[in-house]
A and B are shown apart, each in its own frame.
Chain A
């Protein structure tokens, strides 16, 4: 590898062109683009940076260090499990432990309201996101089938599909019997060594530890893609810098970002513009704490989390369920099911799983304990799973608020109240019937269901109308013209796919729109 220039460090009192808060899926692409355009830019990231080969163990409990552990409060009829399921910390954010499932939305995903009269449309047409999706897939080195069976034609994936594991094979066989089309899924881990923009990554070795961090640096996480390119272009990433607030000038614009540094000292970074990319929970929480950018009253509202029921089963064959890229196989035949009594749709994916996570879900989600639990876990090597990822409609009462309880930092804990509505319940029931038939047709038995909602979307939504949304189509605040929010919180609708590649594409577009307007 060529010698890297020493990383840039801006002096404390120096004002920089831009501050990016959060080095995850939303922040990292913006950081790269702004630095490449020659701006002085500092990223404030609450977590630390990692050297995967030294710091990452193939061990779930050890890798809990990748998860956001400040306590969040979960309320409503379907409380969201955070921590391991729904958030990350560190340079790379949640992409450090994302499952690498790299699915694009389909064009109609962005027009839910036009199509069904419910939810919201995205204020951006698909055609505008498309070139950025292409760029993201090349950056991440996505392995996938070309041509891809669903949606409009697209560029060939940079790498051929990854090998299918046992869960994928059983789902494939079961689905074939039922006439449900399947395909190897696009995954952001190269099936052979991959070099892009001067960054080299080895082929995925199919250990299946994506959700615990990829120790060989194969997976397309932000720390091995956008971040090194940002550093190379002169950006500074200030790790263990926890943002606590903002300073404003008399005209109401933001003049500095306040944060606690790695030694616990209060600091202040002056800047020309702020990109708040702290994720689906922390971004709305920051705005509520600061009392900022909320003339619409929408900050914290419309919190969405995909319907994500998992169905597990056993097979006679030896599976070793943690093996292989976890989401090996996909079907998008359920994108707009003909017999649906609901708006939108979902995708179906096979899933791999690691033992602690599986045992935990079976205990908490199914309620197995005692002999039922231990005898089942002695069958762990024969377990397979599939799940759905489906649309979730925005509802103003599914809401993030600040609780009276203070966390370890002395800040109000975020409280997220979430209840699945009729649409989510109908979609989940549809998915459950389908998944059960697929598994049974594939020869699996002893089905177990773990209900779940995944991803943290929508609590600072983007839209065309400043009374109905927090940011505009460029992800700029309607209230403060040098404040941008760009992470999963700006999703106006959930999309019937996992969110990360869309997020990265949106971030690249946001940076370009900002740079064009300068």
Chain B
């Protein structure tokens, strides 16, 4: 980070109030508002695809893949992922040699837990975050001891939860994205104009 200007964290309730105000404002067109509002209000019930052990492992893994715990909890990232898996709202492709999505994720989560049990006599979810990260690093690299997980599992899990997370209006507002503010017509484009309009959303 050259200039250290990473955006600071903000308590989730304040962020949520800010986001709701933006979504109900005239800065958004109706279709954009409808899509984001639905996502903001959506809640998830535990699905039937994963066992409770797999779900626990998934929740723990989500917190290490996206270590922003308050937002991850508010969004119910694991619940959203499981719902997407159940809906089969797929990507339109998969690696030819990979398992189908449901089988892939079940096997991957089982492998994560089995490896943790073998190495640390603990469930993955009960491990400290440093050790969790070490196992996930091995999964990312496809190396021992996580080479027992099915090929491409880590990549697919990471990509899926990353997409769910950064499509969420709370997260988008948190990172300073304002592309949803689409009702004002012509937008500032050049560096000079964007700097001059830095705080006026969607202009």
Where the two chains meet, the residues of A that have a C-beta atom closer than 8 Å to any C-beta of B are 53-62, 64, 67-75, 79-84, 87, 163-166, 169, 203, 205-209, 215, 314, 316-320, 322-324, 354-356, 358-360, 362-364, 367, 369-371, 373-375, 377-382, 403, 415, 417, 445-446
Contact = CB atoms under 8 A, between A and B. Distances in A.
Interface in B99-131: none
A445 B2 CA distance: 8
A116 B136 CA distance: 47
A169 B188 CA distance: 14
B14 interface: no
A355 B175 contact: yes
- Rank and list the top 10 A-B pairs by shortest CB-CB distance, nearest first: A83-B92, A82-B93, A62-B35, A58-B182, A75-B96, A359-B166, A73-B96, A61-B167, A363-B162, A324-B189
Nearest to A381: B176
Contact of A356 (B29, B158, B163): B163
B191 interface: yes
B190 A166 contact: yes
A319 B178 CA distance: 12
A206 B189 contact: yes
Interface in B58-83: 64-68
B49 interface: no
Nearest to A364: B159
Nearest to B178: A320
Contact of B194 (A82, A205, A323, A377): A323
Given A59-B32, A79-B96, A367-B140, A322 B66 contact: no
B36 interface: yes
Interface of chain B, main secondary structure: loop
Given A59-B180, A354-B179, A374 B3 contact: no
B159 A381 contact: no
Nearest to A67: B92
Contact of A378 (B7, B28, B167, B189): B7
A209 B66 contact: no
Nearest to A72: B93
A495 to B, nearest CB: 24
B92 A84 contact: yes
A360 B68 contact: no
Contacts of A71: 90, 92-94
Nearest to A203: B186
Given A206-B189, A356-B167, A359-B163, A415 B179 contact: no
11 contacts: A61-B167, A75-B97, A206-B186, A319-B191, A322-B177, A323-B189, A323-B194, A364-B155, A373-B162, A380-B177, A445-B2
Contacts of A317: 191, 194-195
Contacts, number: 197
Contacts of B158: 363-364, 369
| Residue with the greatest number of chain A CB neighbours at <10 A, chosen from B68, B155, B182 | B182
Contacts of B182: 58, 207, 209, 215
B180 A58 contact: yes
Contacts of B93: 71-74, 80-83
A459 to B, nearest CB: 16
Contacts of B159: 360, 363-364
B31 interface: yes
Nearest to A61: B167
B187 A74 contact: no
B65 A369 contact: yes
Nearest to B156: A364
Interface string B150-165: 0000010011001101
B34 interface: yes
A370 B163 contact: no
Specify which of A64, A377, A381 lies most central, judged by the most chain B CB atoms within 10 Å of its CB. A377
Contacts of A415: 96
Contacts of A314: 2
Contact of A379 (B1, B95, B180): B1
Contact of A164 (B166, B167, B189): B189
B149 to A, nearest CB: 15
Nearest to A322: B179
Contacts of B1: 375, 379
A67 B163 CA distance: 16
A79 B95 contact: yes
A56 B31 contact: yes
Contacts of B28: 58
B186 A205 contact: yes
A373 B165 CA distance: 12
Given A318-B194, A370-B67, A377-B175, 6 more contacts: A75-B95, A163-B190, A215-B32, A360-B162, A370-B65, A381-B176
A376 B77 CA distance: 19
Contacts of A55: 31
A79 B156 CA distance: 14
